[in-house]
Every structure is written in structure tokens, then in C-alpha cells.
């Protein structure tokens, strides 16, 4: 089984490159963030024609929005209103896999970016981000059980490790890598002993990025990246992790997202 997460930064604008990814890499499930379209404008046909017949979406006009597009039937589809906001940031659905005894629940999550100033007292966006992560920490702890496995993935907007950013020292005061955000995400990860699937394969002392700013004219040359996109799995899925891939070349397509697709393969 192959699963993919990608902050697409407008699904209607970039549906053709999502189709290209589906044709070339054949993931079973594609999870998108920042779809930036209301549900009635979502381009379902672009994906059903490629065999992705099962969709679970929560969209907002012009911003946010998340989607799960699957070749496998989806069950128990849920939409969550985190920190009392209906802003298209968290959905989940369950599916089954031959050779695995229990259902797998996938959570597609778009954590708030947090604005520019890493101080919750003067920046409501940063406070929103911290509250969102804290609520996820508590929710997963309360809702995890032995009768299901879970995958949490998406644009977490936090690069937690030293080598998840191009310069640890220079980004310590920049939103996405500040100690308070890293501490919050670490607590969320420890809530149910999530396994960081990318770092399961990539050593922590090796640079790993999934996002490069549009401000960088030559993103490959400057390589000032951050690992903002994550795939976490519950410990019962760890023995089934087979491979990972980060499709750097998708940053070079015409009108790219500033994020690239991230894959994890499982063997059951």
C-alpha cells in the first residue's frame, strides 16, 4: 500500500499535476492540504477518471481545505472543528487492507502556519497554532484504541528536528522551528507514541526538506528548505513500513506548489 500527502496550494489550479502524480506513482491514497475550494467546486471528476472513486473532503473558499482521495473504499468519514473553528483543517476516514487484521484510520491535517511573530500574547495566529496542536495531542490520546491503527499526516507547519531546516541556529526564532512549537509537536507525537515514518528511514542527522519558499529564485541552489510535511503511524504499523519517497522534482513543474509530495509505502 502506498500513501501520499501533499500541500497542493489550490487543487483546482493544480489538479493536472495531481493527476500526473497519480498516473506515474499510483498511490492508493492521496491526502491533500490547502485545497482552497468549497466542497461544491471540488474537481472530483479529475480524480475519479483515474480510479480514485472515494473522496472525503472539507473545503473553504480561497483558503485551507483538506481532502482524502482513495482507490480503496472509505468508511466512518469524519470532519473535525478544532479549537471551535470550522476552517477545513482536519478530516479522517478508515479503510481496510488485506493482511492486516484491523481497520486503519487516516487523519489528514493542516496545522495553522502561525503568522510571523512567535509570541501567543501578541499574535493570535500563533496562539491558534499552539492551541490546535495541544487539542490534537489530547484528542489522539483520548481516541486511540487497540482495535484500530492510525496514520496522521499532512502539512504540520512545524519542522521539529535540527536537520529538518536549512539552518537550525538561524531559524530558532522563526515560526515553524521555534522551541515552543517543537515542544508542542513533540508532546503530540508522544501522546500515543507516534512513529515518524520519514525519519524511520532517514537518519536524524541527515537533512530532509519538503518545502521551499517561492521567494527563492533557484530553490535547488539555495536549498533553504524545511520539513513541514509529515507522515506518522501508530506503533502497530511500524513493522509494515517498507519505504519512503519525497518527490523533489515536483517543485520544478510549471506553477508548482511550494511543497512537494511525500510518500510512504507499507508491506502487509
Domain spans, the chain: 2-266
Q: pLDDT band at 103, cuts 50/70/90?
A: very high
**Cα distance between residue 226 and residue 224, in whole Å:** 7
Contact present, 78 and 71 (Cβ < 8 Å): no
pLDDT higher than threshold 90 for residue 169: yes
pLDDT tens digits along 209-223: 999 999 988 999 999
The mean-pLDDT minimum among 65-74, 85-94, 169-178, 211-220 falls in 211-220
CA distance 90 to 58: 8
**Cα–Cα distance, 92 to 79 (Å, whole number):** 7
Does residue 257 contact residue 14 with C-beta atoms inside 8 Å? yes
Mean pLDDT of the chain: 97
- Look at residue 199 in the predicted model and tell me its pLDDT: 98
Q: Are 91 and 56 in contact (CB under 8 A)?
A: yes
Measured CA to CA in angstroms, residue 95 lies from 3, 25, 39, 186 at distances of 12, 20, 22, 27
pLDDT at 112: 98
Confidence class for position 238, pLDDT limits 50, 70, 90 = very high
CATH, domain range 2-266:
3.60.10.10
pLDDT tens digits, 126-157: 999 999 999 999 999 999 999 999 999 999 99
Query: 109 forms bridges with which residues in the sheet?
Result: 90, 154
- Check residue 243 and give its pLDDT: 98
pLDDT at 217: 82
pTM exceeds cut of 0.95: yes
Instruction: Please give the biggest Cα pair distance in the chain.
Output: 51
Instruction: Count the Cβ atoms, other than its own, within 10 Å of residue 80.
Output: 16
Amino acid at each position: 500500500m502506498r500513501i501520499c500527502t501533499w500541500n497542493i496550494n489550490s487543487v483546482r489550479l493544480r489538479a493536472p499535476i495531481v493527476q500526473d502524480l497519480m498516473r506515474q506513482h499510483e498511490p492508493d491514497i492521496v491526502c491533500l492540504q490547502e485545497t482552497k475550494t468549497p466542497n461544491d467546486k471540488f474537481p472530483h471528476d479529475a480524480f475519479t477518471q483515474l480510479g480514485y472513486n472515494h473522496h472525503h473532503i472539507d473545503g473553504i473558499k480561497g483558503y485551507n481545505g483538506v481532502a482524502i482521495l482513495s482507490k480503496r473504499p472509505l468508511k466512518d468519514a469524519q470532519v473535525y472543528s478544532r479549537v471551535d473553528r470550522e476552517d477545513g483543517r482536519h478530516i479522517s476516514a478508515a479503510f481496510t487492507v488485506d493482511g492486516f487484521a484491523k481497520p486503519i484510520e487516516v487523519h489528514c491535517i493542516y496545522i495553522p502556519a502561525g503568522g510571523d511573530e512567535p509570541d501567543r500574547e501578541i499574535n493570535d495566529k500563533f496562539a491558534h497554532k499552539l492551541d490546535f496542536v495541544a487539542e490534537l495531542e489530547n484528542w489522539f490520546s483520548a481516541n486511540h484504541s487497540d482495535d484500530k491503527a492510525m496514520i496522521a499526516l499532512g502539512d504540520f507547519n512545524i519542522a521539529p528536528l535540527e536537520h529538518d531546516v536549512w539552518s537550525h541556529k538561524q531559524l530558532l526564532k522563526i515560526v515553524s522551528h521555534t522551541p515552543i512549537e517543537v515542544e508542542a509537536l513533540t508532546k503530540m507525537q508522544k501522546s500515543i507514541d507516534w512513529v515518524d515514518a520519514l525519519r524511520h528511514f532517514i537518519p536524524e542527522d541527515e537533512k530532509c526538506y519538503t518545502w521551499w519558499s517561492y521567494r527563492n529564485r533557484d530553490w535547488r541552489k539555495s536549498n533553504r528548505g524545511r520539513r513541514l510535511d509529515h507522515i506518522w503511524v501508530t506503533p502497530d504499523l511500524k513493522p509494515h513500513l517498507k519505504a519512503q519517497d519525497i518527490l523533489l522534482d515536483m517543485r520544478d513543474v510549471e506553477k508548482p506548489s511550494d511543497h512537494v509530495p511525500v510518500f510512504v509505502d507499507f508491506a502487509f
